[in-house]
Structure 1
Amino acid sequence: MLRIATVNINGIRATLRRGFGEWMTGRDADVVTLQEVRCTLADLPDAAFGGYHAVYEPGTIPGRNGVAVLTRQPPAAVRTWGAEVLVRAAGERHTSTVPAQTPTLARGISRYAAEGRYVEVDLADAPLTVASLYLPKGGLPAHLQRPGRMREAPDGGAKYQRKMHFLDAFARQLTRARREARAGGRELLLTGDLNVAHTHLDVAAWRRSQQAEGFLPEERAWLDEQLSPRTLVDVVRRLHPDTAGPYSWWSWLGQSYAADVGWRIDYHLATPGLARRAVRAEVDREHAGTRLSDHAPVVVDYDL
């Protein structure tokens, strides 16, 4: 059995204070993928990655983004979109980066190469490529922006346009990654925070969220296009076909968490052969009574 967990930790130092290290030890996952690590290499806590071998792509934006893949065994290969990565064994404390392999990049994706949004590894002990993605949150298109009704100042749709550009470029890159994995005899698992909820089952308050970033029709249509029985399968939805949720993100504000008014935006998207081997999917809402982040770990067991 191969247990794989993904979680947007919203800052490694903050989540460690809430018990993330103890959660990692107790959950005993074989692979853990992280998003929004949000820490420079110099500031990484000694216990940041527990007893795992770590591949960390921090990006160059201070206090933002950062993705990682943690594995039991040293990875057989590491790939980014051109950025250097921290690669260290369990117990090591060095902070020097090394070049990663760079696949042929799809048109438009190199714009995001230094932002700490994507890293993938080939596992040494299974024919599987595991990727960690932090997709831009985005914003509203200009025609939906209402001054005084937004938490952020109107930007004329700039963040929306940037997200849509990323989605367009990443769709091409994802197709390449899937085909390269298949050519190498490996399955592909894309994990992470996609900042898109797919259907009404994935947003508790879906009716009033239809004009909210992350649930816009064009974002949902993009995710539709990535999923099919022949390309990528939403593993959690396959195992919970008619369930509202299980949600993986809740606002810190108000009673959203207590009332389970959440969003499902953290995914395991697997090639069909791997998806068929998924036997259990759970969301760890909290650890020892404490939320680790505004997101919760999504944990899937694969019968390999």
Structure 2
Amino acid sequence: MRIATFNVNGIRAAHRRGFRAWLDRSDLDVVAVQEVRCPVDLVPREAVDGYHLAYDPGTLAGRNGVAIMTREEVLAVRAGFGNREFDTEGRYVEVDLPGLTVASLYLPKGGTPFEDAASEAKFRRKLRFLASFQHHLTRSRRQALNAGREFLVMGDFNIAHTELDLKNWKTNRRSEGFLPEEREWFGRILGQRRLVDVVRRLNPDQPGPYSWWSWRGQSWNTDAGWRIDYHLASPGLAARAVSGGTDRDETYEARISDHAPVIVEYADPTVQQTADGT
């Protein structure tokens, strides 16, 4: 199975920039999409043709919206994670497939407690999201396991977990997305009995591979990026990861979004492995 996560920064703009051509050449079974940013009836049909679409647009016009595109028809769809403050914002959707529960997440960017009252309020709001979402991850992962399915949550977490996950980490220690509270939370949801950062497991000592670069300045040309888009998988699925990383565009002009897709190839979770892993 080839599975991707992609914050498209607006599906209509991404479609104009070549989303469909990317989709066709990538040969994907599942795509988690974030920041779709449009009502269901305005999603370009050509962009999703050939896929089943599970989409939660939320209620914030022109903002957020998460989706999962699957070649195979899904067994169930669930939007939100049981939090009244956030569930109307189009930030989380999950689906069941044979042998696999897949989720698409767009986590709030947040703010910092160092600037002004507005920024601190965004920081506190993000912490509320993280606390609630952590409980949901535990529930959903265990429910999938009890149903005989692996679990995979993908998307834009708006957190760089370690110093390997952003180029200029020394100058961003007081920036949202790299604050101690955010990084500590990320560490708590990981573990060999919880969730595994698949791309980091495949690339244990490599800086990046980054998945977001600002549109402005020279950050893309100098690869001064952030790794904030993840595949977090249950241990059984993570062990089936064959290869994975960022599908970075060839040139700045060819960019579809300010994010790049993160693609991982997994051995099919519906096929039982032997004791030696084959």
For normalisation by structure 2, the TM-score amounts to 0.93
Counterpart in 1 of 2:260? 296
Q: 1:179 aligns with which of 130, 142, 148?
A: 142
Amino acid in structure 2 at the alignment position of 1:115: E
Residue 282 of structure 1: CA displacement?
Answer: 2.2
Identical amino acids, percent of aligned pairs: 57
Counterpart in 1 of 2:103? 131
Give the superposed CA RMSD.
1.3
Moved over 3 A (4+): none
Question: 1:268, 1:163 → 2: CA distance?
Answer: 20
Counterpart in 2 of 1:99? none
Question: 2:266, 2:234 → 1: CA distance?
Answer: 13
Residue 169 of structure 1: CA displacement?
Answer: 0.5
Q: Deviations over 1:62-120 (max 9, x none)?
A: 00000000001110111123xxxxxxxxxxxxxxxxxxxxx8x3xxx222111100010
C-alpha change, 1:188 and 1:195, in structure 2 (3 Å) is same
Counterpart in 2 of 1:75? 74
Question: 1:226, 1:194 → 2: CA distance?
Answer: 12
Verify: 1:41 aligned to 2:4, yes or no: no
Question: 2:196, 2:73 → 1: CA distance?
Answer: 27
Verify: 1:145 aligned to 2:119, yes or no: no
Are the equivalent residues in 1 in contact too, given 2:111–2:119 (CA < 8 A)?
A: no
Where 1:133 maps in the other structure, the secondary structure is: strand
Question: 2:240, 2:217 → 1: CA distance?
Answer: 39
Counterpart in 2 of 1:196? 159
Residue 287 of structure 1: CA displacement?
Answer: 6.2
Question: 2:35, 2:134 → 1: CA distance?
Answer: 21
After the TM superposition, which residues 150-299 of structure 1 pair with which residues of structure 2 at under 5 Å, given as runs? 155=118, 157-286=120-249, 290-299=254-263
Amino acid in structure 1 at the alignment position of 2:245: E
Residue 174 of structure 1: CA displacement?
Answer: 0.8
Residue 194 of structure 1: CA displacement?
Answer: 0.3
User: Which runs of no fewer than 5 residues in structure 1 stay unpaired?
Assistant: 82-102, 147-153
Where 1:112 maps in the other structure, the secondary structure is: coil
Question: 1:188, 1:76 → 2: CA distance?
Answer: 14
For normalisation by structure 1, the TM-score amounts to 0.85
Residue 60 of structure 1: CA displacement?
Answer: 0.4
Amino acid in structure 1 at the alignment position of 2:10: G
Residue 44 of structure 1: CA displacement?
Answer: 2.2
Amino acid in structure 1 at the alignment position of 2:220: Y
User: Which runs of no fewer than 5 residues in structure 2 stay unpaired?
Assistant: 269-278
Counterpart in 1 of 2:5? 6
Are the equivalent residues in 2 in contact too, given 1:191–1:266 (CA < 8 A)?
A: yes
Where 2:155 maps in the other structure, the secondary structure is: strand
C-alpha change, 1:30 and 1:209, in structure 2 (3 Å) is same
Residue 49 of structure 1: CA displacement?
Answer: 1.3
C-alpha change, 1:156 and 1:192, in structure 2 (3 Å) is closer
Counterpart in 1 of 2:274? none
How many residues in Structure 1 have an aligned counterpart in Structure 2?
Answer: 267
Q: Deviations over 1:50-69 (max 9, x none)?
A: 32111111000000000000
